[in-house]
Amino acid sequence: MSTKTPAFLSYAREDSAFALRLAADLRAAGANVWLDQLDIRPGRQWDREVEQALARCSEMLVILSPAGVDSSNVMDEVAFALEERKTVIPVLQCDCRIPFRLRRLQHVDFRSAYEVGLQALLSSLAVDDQRAPAASSGGGATESALTKSAEMVDQGTKSELGRIEQNRIERERAEATQKAEQDRIEQERAEATQKAEQNRTERERAEATQKAEQDRIERERADATQKAEQDRIERERADATQKAELDRIERERAEATQKAELDRIERERAEATQKAELDRIERERAEATQKAELDRIDWKRAEATQKAEQDRNARDAGAVRQKEEANQESDDKTNAMPQGISTSQSQGVSGPSGLAPSIAPVRHLLLKGLTLLILAILGLVVWINLPNVGIRKDAKTESSSSVSNVSNTSKQGRIDSSQEIAVSEIQFSKFL
């Protein structure tokens, strides 16, 4: 058997019989093949042993069938081998969908004839030179190897191993016949060498394809990363824009609230100012009303004073009339005296007393006329001043200073009128 690292045999559980047959034939031909059912000892961890065998092997034989293509374990093992740059040899057992990553690899076809596929696989594994010694040495060693393999498989595969042994015997017979025809064998070796070169070329192509695929995957990852970064930047920009918009709205709300508050304060100030102005106007109106009331009281007092003066003048006039009546009675008595006495008395007082009867009526008439004239003057003064007092009262509601000036002017006018009346009365008294 070859001393090179074993070739890992990957298969689906549904293809166990074919895998066991192929492994036995390959080992019988001198190939170094690792199979989990033959090489994992009892008590060992299956997944760890498979992982270690994958890591040690330099070549992988993958059995392609519908079950193998659908097996996730088989596809994982193939992916690991490709990533680790190991040689992967597809073994096409039956018609199935070949995975994309294995389509460019040269496969060994077992669909039409098992023996033809086995010969091609042995040529790929470069074990042709070791098969003749194995065949010429008789069936002892080979049979013992097969017996050992048969003991390690379960009871269900014994019949399959028997069939494998029969096939091996037939193959040895065919190899003996082939040995007689050395020229044809040499030609087949040359063809095998050429095919190996072709396989190498195919492997290099497959590796280039795999590298291109890896580069594409890397580019896709880089593009995905770049797109994710761009999406993150866009999200951050959108978040920043949204935050700026929210801040602007908050500022506008704050400004609107502040403006509303300022407007409210301005309105309150205006209302307070207006109320203060109204209160001032009301106070001025009250003061004007109070002042007008005081002026009315002063006017009534002046009228009362004037009336009292008129009553006094009337009493004085009555006293004058009584005096005149007394003088008249005295004159009448004088006229009733004897003629002599009357003559002598009349001669003794021939001066002013002779004018008394004519002066009394004149005085009475003058006094009455002056009284009427004074009353007319007083009425005229009152009539002139009353409209001015009303106008000045209306003016008080416009300005307190104007009210004060009007009030002072009206009062001064009444005082002047009262003084004029008093002066007239004094002059009239002097005249009397």
Nearest to 63 by CA among 114, 5, 1: 114
- Give percent of the chain with pLDDT exceeding 90: 31
pLDDT band at 132 (very low <50, low <70, confident <90, very high): very low
* pLDDT (mean) for 225-240: 88
* pLDDT (mean) for 312-333: 86
Indicate if the pLDDT at residue 279 is higher than 50: yes
* pLDDT (mean) for 175-192: 65
Beta bridge partners of 63: 91
Among 145-149, 270-274, 312-316, whose mean pLDDT is lowest? 145-149
Indicate if the pLDDT at residue 270 is higher than 90: no
- Give percent of the chain with pLDDT exceeding 70: 67
pLDDT digits (tens, 9 = 90+) for 281-298: 899 998 988 898 888 988
Tokens of 39: 């090489």
Indicate if the pLDDT at residue 267 is higher than 90: yes
Question: Which pLDDT does position 133 carry in this prediction?
Answer: 40
* pLDDT (mean) for 301-328: 87
Residue 4 φ then ψ, to 5°? -70, 165
**Predicted model pTM:** 0.34
Tokens of 207: 């590796």
Give the whole-angstrom CA distance, residue 10 versus residue 13: 10
pLDDT band at 241 (very low <50, low <70, confident <90, very high): confident
Indicate if the pLDDT at residue 403 is higher than 80: no
Give the whole-angstrom CA distance, residue 395 versus residue 106: 123
Question: Which pLDDT does position 195 carry in this prediction?
Answer: 79
Question: What is the set of domains in the chain, with CATH numbers?
Answer: 7-180 (3.40.50.10140), 285-329+358-431 (no CATH)
